Amino acid sequence: MSLRQLGKSISDAVRKFLRVPTADERAVNTLLKEIQRALIRADVNARIVADFTRKVRERSLSSEVPPGFSRKDIVLKSVYDGLVEILGEKKPTLQLVKGTNIMLFVGIEGSGKTTTVAKLAVLLKKRGYLVAVVCADDHRPGAYQQLLDLLSEFEIPVYWERGVKAPELAERGVKKFKEEGYKIILVDTAGRHKNEQELIEEMRVISDRIKPTHTFLVVDAAIGQFAYQQAKAFHEAAPIGGVIITKLDGTAKGGGALSAVVATGAPIYFVCTGEKLGEIEPFDPNGFVSRLLGMGDLRALSEKLHEAYLEMKRLKEAELMPEKFNLLAFRIQLQQARKLGPLTKLLDLLPGGLSLNLPPEVAQEASKKIDKWLVIMNSMTREELENPKIINRSRINRIAKGAGVYPEDVRELLSNYKRAKRMMKAFKSDRAAKRMLEKLTKSVL
């Protein structure tokens, strides 16, 4: 299954899920089963898939739904975050060391090592670094010629000697360029061996000898099933610091590449999308997943939800510490109340102490009032929301003008906020009193 097909299968499953009337456990399970099947068919390692499914199910079903969002939003965010997590959460940036950067490239034959070394050499040279390349391939003299052809016009020197073993080539080349003052030395290796064991062993020896500051595993996006095992084996021989995925332009099985990332624990630094020198780009997990699913707005949704969770946390803190209760917290309360409809919680906040069984007209009136207050709060500065004490008469006038209401409306909002704060304090001390009483009775009995 190609990467594009994987993306399509997942987004089809998501779209189907979005059409179900309620996002209950059954709907979530159906969605996850379909995504699971798509990932397995794209050759993502089974353990990774199981892990992904478990996490996404748990988050989808047990996360609280913040006001203004639905359970479906939570599920979407969980799927999106889960996929991004497989790929490494952050966009990694290449960290260079102060002295000589020695970058070793490993991977099986045909994965695209030589091409990638050339691409990266040119990229780094263009960024202004002194770059040199060592061809530590004693199996295929053509590799040296390949590098020369690609790099001569950029004046990037390439080292190789006939009849010298690969580890020796690597060591000599690194020594030579280091002495000549090159800041970045890229070491291309061979991939053609009798068996994988031998190849891995050679990488271990080379790594020991040149002590690379960076080791990149080059993985063909089409590798499929074996990526996980292979990446693990390389990682044990020469600890992999970063992964580079090649041939993402073809009809690639991207799943294998995902598995390689997880096997090494190393993030993807670059992806290559063609044979030409310029066809390399830094990897962005968020962008990749968005593109994979063909749903560009998922990232925004995920970020908005994240923000909402933070607000809910703040509100809970305020409930525990009434002295911290400010207009920001009050606003979240109102939003929640608005979302829930006219429930008891909301009524407590309203002027006049409305009764519980109120007629629908009154409830509607209350909702309208809350909407007005929310608009008013939009005209306040962050500072005012955080510290309502500073809201004096001139500020009230400014806020009223901005919100298109009367100053009395702003005052009404403020007095209700104060009332809510008082109630919170009372509620808290009430609880504290009860707890003390409980303790007391217990100690007496």
Which residues contribute to the site for Mg ion (CB under 5 A)?
A: 113-114, 143
Contact call for residue 274 and ligand GDP (CB under 6 A): yes
- Can you tell me which of 196, 249, 319, 365 binds ligand GDP, judged by CB under 6 A? 249
Residues in region 276-305 near ligand GDP by CB under 6 A: 279
User: Binding-site residue total for ligand GDP (CB under 6 A)?
Assistant: 18
Considering the complex, state which of residue 42 and residue 199 has its C-beta at the smaller distance from ligand GDP.
199
- Output the smallest distance, CB 13 to ligand GDP, in A: 29
Considering only 21-29, 60-68, 269-277, 427-435, which stretch makes contact with ligand GDP by CB under 6 A? 269-277
The DSSP-derived string for 370-406 is: HHHHHHHHHTS-HHHHH-GGG--HHHHHHHHHHHTS-
Beta carbons within 8 Å of 224's beta carbon, 6+ residues apart: 43, 253, 255, 256
Determine, following the binding rule CB under 6 A, whether residue 275 of this chain makes contact with ligand GDP: yes
Task: State which of residues 82, 107, 254, 322 lies at the interface with ligand GDP (CB under 6 A).
Answer: 107
Closest among 221, 241, 215, 218 to 288, alpha carbons compared: 221
Instruction: Give just the sign of the alpha carbon dihedral 25, 28, 32, 33.
Output: positive
- Using the contact rule CB under 6 A, the part of the chain among 2-10, 34-42, 241-249, 360-368 near ligand GDP is 241-249
Per rule CB under 6 A, is residue 253 in the interface with ligand GDP?
no
Using CB under 6 A, pick the residue from 36, 45, 101, 114 that binds ligand GDP.
114
Phi, psi of 226 (to 5 degrees): -85, -5
User: Could you give the angle at the alpha carbon of 284 between the alpha carbons of 282 and 288, nearest 5°?
Assistant: 120
149 is a site residue for ligand GDP (CB under 6 A): no
Output 143 or 174, the one with its CB closest to Mg ion: 143
Residue 402 binds which one of Mg ion, ligand GDP, none, with CB within 5 to 8 A depending on kind? none
Please give the Cα distance from 362 to 234 (Å, whole number): 70
Given a contact cutoff of 8 angstroms between Cβ atoms, the answer to whether 298 and 11 are in contact is no
Binder of residue 107, out of Mg ion, ligand GDP, none (CB less than 5 to 8 A by kind): ligand GDP
Yes or no: say if 164 and 138 are a contact pair by the CB < 8 Å rule.
yes
Which one of the spans 62-70, 268-276, 366-374, 382-390 is the region binding ligand GDP (CB under 6 A)? Answer: 268-276
**Cβ contact 213:101 at 8 Å:** yes
Query: Number of C-alpha atoms within 13 angstroms, CB side, residue 292?
Result: 29
> Which residue from 51, 55, 100, 110 is in contact with ligand GDP, where contact means CB under 6 A?
110
SS3 of the chain: helix, strand, coil, percent, to 5: 60, 10, 30
Which tokens hold the place of 89? 């959460």
Shortest CB 221 distance to ligand GDP, Å? 8
Cα 437 to Cα 440: distance, rounded to the nearest angstrom: 5
The answer to whether 270 touches 263, Cβ cutoff 8 Å, is: no
Closest residue to Mg ion, based on beta-carbon distance: 114
For the bound state, the minimum distance from the C-beta of residue 82 to ligand GDP, rounded and expressed in Å, comes to 27
Give whichever of 250 and 294 is closer to ligand GDP, judged by the CB atom: 250
Amino acid identity at 273: T
Interface residue list for ligand GDP (CB under 6 A): 107, 109-115, 191, 246-247, 249-250, 272-275, 279
